[in-house]
Amino acid sequence: MPPFFKYKKQKGHTDQSKDTRDSENHHVPELIDPSLSVNLDIIKQKTGHSSDIIVRTIITGNTPLHKASVVYVDGLVDTQAINDSLIEPLQTNHDLLEMLYQQDELDKFTKEFISLGSVHPVTNWDELFLTLMSGDTIILIDGSNKAWSASAKGGERRSIQEPSTQVSVRGSKESFTESIGTNIAMVRRIISNPDLWIESMKIGNVTRTDVSIMYINGIAKTEVVDEVRKRLKRINIDSILESGYIEQLIEDQTITPFPTIFTTERPDITAGNLLEGRVAIFVNGSPDALLAPALFIGFFQAVEDYYSRYDIATATRFIRVLAFFISLIGPAAYIAITTFHQEMIPTQLLIIVAAQRDSVPFPAFVEAIIMEIAFEILREAGIRMPKVIGSTISIVGALVIGQGAIQAGIVSPATVIVVAITAIANFATPSYTVAISARLIRFLFMISAAVFGFYGIILGFIMLVVHLVSLRSFGVPYMTPLAPFIPKNIGDTIIRTPLWAEKLRPRLISSTDNPVREGENQKPTPPKSRGMKKKNTR
């Protein structure tokens, strides 16, 4: 037998033994023991005597001696609430507790006297630890084989702040926080409708992260919701630390520079997308919600487009798409023109450019690539640098690299201008994720331009288009509604038609049963008389 077969078999064997060992370790006591001290021992053993697990044992009755324990994780709970509404009733109602205890009706006590949000009985250890670790408080009463988990979540969290990446001049100034409950509530506050449905699950074998999917029943497509649910259920991984983990595990196509799932940190964008029929995925600990299915054109729709008037919105959107093109093929076109197609430049300009490039020792491609890489390094350094030394980088960047390189004759001023325009154009894309892919693809365009001039650029462009139209996001073609062309939805793409003209929800995304989003005759028609209606004076 060849050795690698042996190895494979052995590996399989060890895996199996590991599995059995794991299960022995974890599942010894399945149900909660009636004895309080045994239970507390199990908790301490299982948590490794961690110092943040607080156990408070209370005497609840003297004749006979009864004890109860309250267990919680320090920092995840609201200590004030636990003291007031949990420990105090246990301490003061000795007689009642005794009576109910004998009648075996402790549930009644927890229902009537513990004034916390929700209290429910727990009988097995798995569930107990799950609730304990997610911030619930556990009540154990001596002699009962049940425990109660009471919800008194609290602790320090970041408060709601202004959005940091998806900034807008007009519109709400809220952005998501790291707490999934707060995030869901923020969307719920915008869409006050019982049809806003939320499903929760825990993903991550070790981290047990809360993940929720949110959609509007009746507007979202059932197939898409099912698909999202199915893909989330499929995930089997030890940890989910950020929504980026989920995104990478459920996207349609992995070999692509383009994001097929939209991320946002704004509740209003989330609400808007839910209303178009998309599904939102929230992950605890992540201030970015995922939205699927995503369309390519969606990455150019800034939230302000919908808040400002349509003519302005259309103009700005044009600029954004133009900027995206410039950031893709700006340097490539410069390289192609200066190396292959000099005849395209008007003669006067050609003389200027040629004079500048006369003293430069490199071909245009090398020049451009030096400046592009220098700029990318500057940008990457700028992101992770402590804010205090921020001014250093601007001095180094502007003076040393910009002016110095030209004066030293390493690059020509025209190249610097092109690179700078490209860089600024790149920032005009509202979505950071698509801007990054443009940065990446730009280098491929530059190489093809350096080798084949415009022929290379056009072929690269065709390949890019082919790649884009072949992508799908949760079954929906990525370039919808441009390709496949859906005339009724074209109003919210490169142009934005007035709000009163956009009667239908996007066809391939939202449910087909309920496509109309506004009533007839929504175009505002002012009254015929010039002024306001006259008051009935006199």
Partner 1 sequence: MEKAKISAYQLFVLIVLFELGSALLVPIAIEAKQDAWLAILLGTAGGFFLYLVYYGLFHYYPDILPTEYMQKIVGKPFGKLLAFLYILYFMYLAARMLRVFGELLITFAYPRTPLFILNALFLVVIIYTLRKGIEVVARTGELLFVILFLLTISGFMLIVISGLIDLHNLQPVLEEGMLPAVKTVLTRTLYFPFGEAIVFTMILPYLNQSKKAKLTGVYAIGLSGLTLTLIAVLNISVLGINLTTRSQFPLLSTIQTIQIGGFLERLDVYFMLFLILGGFFKISLFFYGAVAGTANLFNFKEPSKLAYPIGIAILLVSMTISSNYAEHINEGIRLIMLPIHLPFQVIIPVLLLIIAFFKHRKKRGK
Please give the residue ranges that form the binding site for partner 1 (CB under 8 A): 340-341, 343-344, 346, 452-456, 458-459, 462-463, 465-466, 469-470, 477, 479, 482-485
**Least Å from the CB of residue 408 to partner 1:** 33
Looking at beta carbons only, is 133 or 464 nearer to partner 1? 464
Q: How far apart are CA 227 and CA 213, in angstroms?
A: 12
Q: Is 5 exposed, middle or buried (0-12, 13-18, 19+ CB in 10 A)?
A: exposed
Q: What span, in angstroms and rounded, lies between the C-alpha atoms of 39 and 69? A: 10
Closest CB 121 distance from partner 1, rounded Å: 53
Shortest distance (Å) from residue 320 CB to partner 1: 18
Nearer to partner 1 among residue 38 and residue 462 (C-beta)? 462
Q: Which is nearer to partner 1, 346 or 526 (CB)?
A: 346
Pair of tokens at residue 383: 């992101």
Task: Find out whether 104 and 144 touch, Cβ atoms under 8 Å.
Answer: no
With beta carbons less than 8 A apart as the criterion, state whether 215 and 289 touch. Answer: no
Least separation in angstroms between CB 429 and partner 1? 19
Q: Which is nearer to partner 1, 179 or 493 (CB)?
A: 493
Element (H, E) at 332: helix 310-339
Q: How far apart are CA 232 and CA 408, in angstroms?
A: 56
How many residues are listed for the chain in this entry?
538
What is the Cα–Cα distance from 247 to 177, expressed in whole angstroms?
Answer: 18
Q: How far is the CB of 337 from partner 1 (least distance, A)?
A: 9
Q: Based on CB atoms, which residue is closest to partner 1, 312 or 459?
A: 459
Q: How many angstroms separate the CA atoms of 121 and 191, rounded? A: 33
Closest CB 516 distance from partner 1, rounded Å: 23
- Amino acid, res. 357: R
Minimum CB distance to partner 1 smaller for 331 or for 477:
477
Report residue 96: phi and psi, to 5°. -60, -45
8 Å CB contact between 309 and 414: no
The least CB distance from residue 221 to partner 1, in Å, is 19
Nearest distance, CB of residue 508 and partner 1, angstroms: 12
Dihedral of alpha carbons 354, 357, 361, 367, sign? negative
- Report the nearest approach of partner 1 to the CB of residue 269 (Å): 26
Q: What are the helix and strand counts (H, E) for the chain? A: 19, 12
Closer by beta carbon to partner 1, 163 or else 460: 460
Cβ neighbours for 83, distance < 8 A, ≥ 6 positions apart: none
The two structure tokens encoding residue 272: 């808007």
Token digits of residue 241: 């630390």
- CB hemisphere CA count around 538 (13 angstroms): 1
Which among 339, 341, 329 has a CA at the least distance from the CA of 422? 329
Q: Residue 245 or 340: which CB sits closer to partner 1? A: 340
CA dist 301 and 263 (Å) reads: 13
* Beta pairing, strands 279-283 & 472-473: unpaired
Q: Return the closest-CA partner of residue 279 out of 209, 210, 235, 232.
A: 232
CB of 125 or CB of 340, closer to partner 1:
340
Nearest approach in angstroms of CB 480 to partner 1 is 9
Shorter beta-carbon distance to partner 1: residue 140 or 479: 479
